[in-house]
Amino acid sequence: MSETSPIRKIGVLTSGGDAPGMNAAIRAVIRTAMSEKLLAVGIYHGYKGLINKEFAPMFGYSVADIIHRGGTILKTSRCPEFKTNEGLDKAYQNLSDEGIDGLVVIGGDGTFRGALALHKRHPDIRIVGLPGTIDNDLFGTDFTIGYDTAINTVVQAVDKIRDTAGSHGTLFFVEVMGRDAGFIALNSGIATGAEDILIPETETKIDSLIAKLEYDQRKHKTWGIIIVAEGDELGGATKVAEMVKEKLPGYETRVTILGHVQRGGSPSCNDRVLATRLGYAGVKALLEGEDCVMMGMMNDKVVHVPFEKATKNHQQIDKSLIEVAKIMAL
């Protein structure tokens, strides 16, 4: 099939960590496909379902009443077999047998790396990607689907923790997700007035944190919130709390690990709209002959970002935000 061959049947899957808004994205893909008179197939459990041929036809009504639901109706997985040539060949054979000539993958950078691997071995299936991850670390898009919901979940939780922290005079170390990225930590930290925010992108100086807490203690302020991204190089909230307690035993400390609560829940308005716009754009891009590109949103405009670029680079933290956060915590 040449690059300009018409697309007749598309497949859609979700892969990697789930994110609120994935369902809204699936809905947008299917409804746009229907409006273009395409056939559509839902592929269950991400790349695992591609290899095991977990396919089901989808129609406009298949995606009714899902725009407000977290998780993914197509389920997701992490699939080591897809990293092997045998796995890629099985997946390709299943796609060919089913007559699928266009694929929409919704996930993070790992998912796009998988799509690239499939393309390199079997270039005749056109693939587009939608950025679905709460981490917001994908290069080429201002926001990823799920991030807005996740930070709002964190803000709601931390506001509640602050109530009890203030009542008891306790210092809380709240760990948020972000194995490699500090977007959730930085922005939720600013929004909740955190006393400090520890992220993997900047070196965490424990001595500076101790000095600040000593200063607060002298002023009889012993409560507060320290947001710690799980990927911080010091080793997460439990470790940081231990280090602080050792140097400042007078502090009453607690650790809260928010964990997977951040990945669930009904998507925010922003995530629903983002997912819908990118899902629509993804199908249109396939029809225009695009291949191996991620749909991104930059300055409120849809952009097409080659998978190569999206996977080789990381979205950078805006350093000025770190400064803002520091000033607010003085």
Ramachandran area for residue 236 (φ above 0: left; ψ -120 to 50: alpha; else beta): left
Contact 55, 98 (CB under 8 A): yes
Contact 114, 15 (CB under 8 A): yes
Interface pick for ligand F6P out of 11, 17, 107, 140 (rule CB under 6 A)? 17
Residue number, nearest CB to ligand F6P: 17
Interface pick for ligand F6P out of 30, 103, 117, 177 (rule CB under 6 A)? 177
Instruction: Count Cα atoms within 13 angstroms, Cβ side, for 213.
Output: 30
Partner from ligand ADP, ligand F6P, none contacting 282, C-beta within 5 to 8 A by type: none
Footprint of ligand F6P on 229-248 (CB under 6 A): 230
AA letter at 80: P
CB of 263 to ligand F6P, least distance (A): 6
Q: Does 178 bind ligand F6P (CB under 6 A)?
A: yes
Footprint of ligand F6P on 37-76 (CB under 6 A): none
| Pick 47 or 147: Cβ nearer ligand ADP | 47
AA letter at 128: V
| Pick 181 or 213: Cβ nearer ligand F6P | 181
Kindly indicate which of the ranges 51-59, 130-138, 163-171, 293-301 contains the residues binding ligand F6P, using the contact rule CB under 6 A.
130-138
CB of 237 to ligand F6P, least distance (A): 14
At 293 the three-state DSSP class reads strand
CB of 153 to ligand ADP, least distance (A): 18
Footprint of ligand F6P on 295-324 (CB under 6 A): none
Q: What are phi and psi of 242, to 5 degrees?
A: -60, -45
| Pick 45 or 119: Cβ nearer ligand F6P | 45
Type and span of the H or E element at 111: helix 109-121
Contact 71, 18 (CB under 8 A): yes
Contact 129, 293 (CB under 8 A): yes
Interface pick for ligand F6P out of 135, 148, 195, 196 (rule CB under 6 A)? 135
| Pick 109 or 175: Cβ nearer ligand ADP | 109
Gap between the Cα atoms of 52 and 168, Å rounded = 54
59-93 burial: b if 16+ Cβ within 10 Å, else e = eeebbeebbebbbbbbbbbebeebeeeebbebbbe
| Pick 16 or 42: Cβ nearer ligand ADP | 16
Query: Going by DSSP bridges, is the β-strand pair 55-58/171-176 parallel, antiparallel, or unpaired?
Result: unpaired
CB of 169 to ligand F6P, least distance (A): 31
Contact 230, 179 (CB under 8 A): yes
**Tokens matching residue 315:** 């979205």
Distances (CA, A) of 97 to 101, 211, 282: 10, 65, 23
Unique residue bearing structure tokens 């299943």: 94
CB of 49 to ligand F6P, least distance (A): 17
Gap between the Cα atoms of 239 and 34, Å rounded = 52
Number of residues that bind ligand F6P (CB under 6 A): 9
Q: Which residues bind ligand ADP (CB under 6 A)?
A: 15-17, 47, 78-79, 82-83, 107-111, 113-114, 117, 133
| Pick 119 or 162: Cβ nearer ligand ADP | 119
Kindly indicate which of the ranges 92-100, 112-120, 171-179, 216-224 contains the residues binding ligand F6P, using the contact rule CB under 6 A.
171-179
Catalytic residue ranges: 135
Positions that interact with ligand F6P (CB under 6 A)? 17, 133-135, 177-179, 230, 263
